[in-house]
Structure formats: C-alpha cells, structure tokens
Amino acid sequence: MSYSENAALTALAAVKDSDGKRDIVAAGRLGDLSYQDGYLRAVLQIDPKEADAFEPVRLAAEAALKAVKGVDRVSVMMTAHKAAPDVSRRPKKSSNPHQARRPEGYQGDAFVDHVIAVSSAKGGVGKSTIAANLAVALAKSGKKIGLLDADIHGPSVPMLMGLTGSRAVTTEKQGRRLIVPFEAHGVKVMSIGFLTDGDGPIVWRGPMVQGAISRMLWDVDWGELDMLIIDMPPGTGDPQLGLAQDIKPRGAIIVSTPQDLALLDARKGVAMFGKVNIPVFGLIENMSLFVCPDCGSSHEIFGTGGVAEEAKKLDVPLLGHAPLHISIRESSDKGEPIAAGDSAESQMFADMARTLTDLVTT
C-alpha cells in the first residue's frame, strides 16, 4: 500500500500533547516527518524538563504511525531545543517576547550579515521571480548572496534557478549535521523542493510550515553571506509572523502589481511588518506594463503608477519596476534568470540591487 503524508499527519493529530489539551501537531511539537522506503521517522520537539513525562506521548505517536498504510518501520524521537547562543556577526536584535527555539550548537546562519524578506500579501504577483532575479543581480555586483525558498506549499525557486530535480545532501559542521545548499548563478540556494520527492503537494499545518522555514535557515550550511534573500510564502499569516519573530530580518521588500486589488494586499503586508518592528525597505512594481513581442509597443494592462503612488502614501521607497515581458518568462522557464544576462531587463534588476545595497548598508 502507498504511503500518504496526510494519513501520517492525521494519525499524529489523534495523539494528545502531555497537557491533554491539544494534539501534538496543533501544539507545534512536530519538528520533522520524513519517509523513505517504508521507514517513517518523526521528531518531536520538547523542553528538556519534559523528557520523562513526555515518554508516553512518544510511545503513543509511535503506535499511531505504525498503523499508517505503507509504513514498515517507525522511529519517533524527542529533541530538546533552547534559545540560540549569541552570534557575534549578527546585527543586534530589539527585545521581543517571543523566544526563538533554535537547536543547540553551531548555527547554519551564524555568518549571514543581513536577512532580507521578499514578500507579497497576495499570490500571483511574481514575487518568486523578483526574489530570484534580485538575488542573482546582487551576486553579479560582487556580493555573497543566498536565496531561501520559504514558499513551502508552492516552491518555485528550483525551476527559476535551474535546479529542478535536485536533492539535498548533508554535511557535518562542528558536531551538527547540516544541509548543503546548492549553488547556481553565483547564489547559494535552498528550497523545500530539494527535500521532497516528486511534484505532489506538501500537506502541512501551520506549525510545521513555520518550523520548516526556521530549520532551512538554522540547519543549512550557508557559510559567509552578505545577504540572504528569503522568498516568503504569500499572505500575512503564521509563516510570516513566525519568521518575523524567530529570525527578525534586517528588512522586507513588498512586491505588487499596479492593480488596486494587489495594492490593497500590499498595504496589509506593510502593516504586518510594521507591527513586528521590521522595516520595509520599499516596494517593487512587477508587471508594470506589457511589452508586445511582435511590435514592441507597451500596454499598461494592470494600470499605471499605482505602486509608486502607494509607496508615497506609505512613506517607503519605490525600489523599481519590472515589466511583463516574454523574455523574463522564457528565462524563468529555462532556469536562467534574466538578471544573469546583459539585456535591458537585467539592468533593471541591477538597479534594484544597487538601491537595496545602499539601503541595507546605510
């Protein structure tokens, strides 16, 4: 019988947490769930003081997973987490009542100078395309750049960066097992797409999504980076708030199209980052106009000036414009970001990268 991750999650959702109030998935206990060749492995996150009292819960989770179709062997482990040690090269963080639950030992992001979140409160505005091309443009300028695809349910960075079908491997670093990022177009790249098999959907609840984003930051061997660009999932829910609290990016960029419907959601994105004290470096207008591939004429099919006007209202910079151009679509499908070339479109991303660098370093 074939294994179903959804069936495994359903089985775990029937297991009560140690306090008996919520199930272990809803309580955020599930740190990892992986399946290979009949072997199902789960990791439950606990406080060290709970170890003895939590053993019955671990056994119940193990029994529940053994009943899942397609599972021959089960391993349920408990892992204790605490706040991360201070990292000398990390910018100072403002006080925050939320305490990040980092694993002990060496941190994969220990030598990342700045984390930049690329976000859109609305899906379908080309956020991932902007994030990938911006990362490549920054790398072309001589910066050490990483790109983290945090869109758990719709990872597109592997295709955009020409890494479709790649599967991640691990390495040991100072006593910890870390994931090795791929390199493409001068950028270190990590995506949930490198950790899953096939093209099936990833059916995860909120706590698992938030945990996966954090782990791809802390448990990946990023090395020394000037900037790590995070392609955020669309919306203003748990993944965005969790990332803001756990990771505290240096700043955020909001991507929007000029149309009123997208701008309405862009305002929500700016407001969300404001509530968690993360500065918005600016807005990027994508699909600013359509360039006809036959005659070269331009058409403002989504309206004109909307993002520039909104940026002025919100008192944030307009970082640049990107057109709806067939060359950008073709390069994205090929896994060759247009920012890697020398076209007029690549120059637009170079200008955005230069503006962002100035904002980050001042």
d(CA 117, CA 73): 39
Count Cβ atoms below 10 Å from residue 114 Cβ, excluding itself.
Answer: 19
The whole-number pLDDT of residue 46 equals: 82
Q: Over the stretch 52-66, which tens digit does the pLDDT of each residue have?
A: 788 899 999 999 999
Q: Over the stretch 261-290, which tens digit does the pLDDT of each residue have?
A: 556 666 777 888 887 788 899 888 877 655
Average pLDDT over residues 92-112: 64
Domain ranges of the chain: 5-80, 112-361
pTM above 0.95, yes or no: no
Its sign, for the CA torsion 20, 23, 29, 34, is positive
pLDDT at 353 over 80: yes
Q: Over the stretch 213-247, which tens digit does the pLDDT of each residue have?
A: 777 888 899 999 999 999 988 766 666 666 666 67
Q: At how many degrees (to 10) do helices 260-275 and 238-246 cross? A: 40
Pair of tokens at residue 7: 């069936």
Instruction: Phi first, then psi: give them for residue 287, nearest 5 degrees.
Output: 55, 40
5-80 and 112-361 in the same fold: no
Please report which confidence band the pLDDT of residue 317 belongs to, taking 50, 70 and 90 as the band edges: confident
Please report which confidence band the pLDDT of residue 318 belongs to, taking 50, 70 and 90 as the band edges: confident
- Report the residue count for the chain: 362
* Mean pLDDT for the chain overall: 79
Which CATH code fits 112-361?
Answer: 3.40.50.300
pLDDT at 356 over 80: yes
Question: ∠ at Cα 229 (269, 168), nearest 5°?
Answer: 120
β pairing state of 30-36 and 39-46: antiparallel
Domain 5-80 has CATH 3.30.499.10: no
d(CA 281, CA 358): 10
Pick 198 or 253 by higher pLDDT: 253
Please report which confidence band the pLDDT of residue 122 belongs to, taking 50, 70 and 90 as the band edges: low
CA 232 to the chain's CA centroid: 5
The whole-number pLDDT of residue 292 equals: 63
Please give the C-alpha separations between residue 253 and each of 79, 84, 313, 336, in angstroms, as whole numbers: 35, 26, 16, 23
